[in-house]
Amino acid sequence: MYVEKLREFGLTPTTQRLAVLEYLDGNRSHPTADEIYQAVHARYPTIVKATVYNALAALKKVGAVQELTIEREAARYESNTCPHPHFLCRVCGKLYDVNLPCAIRPGDEIEGHQVESVHTYIYGVCSACRNQVKTTNHSKSEEDNA
């Protein structure tokens, strides 16, 4: 499956590219290049970090993966290249895909401008962190009342 996908994108299906693509496919955590390297290195101990970075660059260039620049510290990657919004929790740092309609697509034209890529980044506090705060506050008020 991954061999064919790489060939469709015009890439030679090397072990390294296949390993990176396989790791990203279905991975919803939006890992950084270093996280991808750690995971791939665990499976292929001879792979070096530069090779993972080169594989990501090649996959990104042909549109097989998407690079997310939602954080200044590190880019994140995913294999879902269809335009969709992302939500970054400012408390725990988790990055989520969110289901919002995206009316603009690559290839569209807006006021004479040609759209090449679309990225919607939303920042806030995720439901898990909000629930954690509610639970913590609830426990504190029970202690205060005791």
Average pLDDT over residues 53-72: 94
Percent of the chain residues topping a pLDDT of 90: 72
Q: Say if CB 16 and CB 52 are below 8 A apart.
A: yes
Q: Which tokens belong to 86?
A: 């992302």
Q: Say if CB 78 and CB 35 are below 8 A apart.
A: no
What is the chain's mean pLDDT, rounded? Answer: 90
| Number of residues written out for the chain | 146
Better-predicted residue by pLDDT, 110 or 102: 110
Domains of the chain: 1-81 (1.10.10.10), 82-146 (3.30.1490)
Q: Is the pLDDT of residue 123 over 80?
A: yes
pLDDT band at residue 83 using 50, 70 and 90 as cut-offs = confident
Per-residue pLDDT tens over the stretch 44-53: 999 999 999 9
Average pLDDT over residues 85-114: 91
Average pLDDT over residues 107-116: 94
Better-predicted residue by pLDDT, 105 or 136: 105
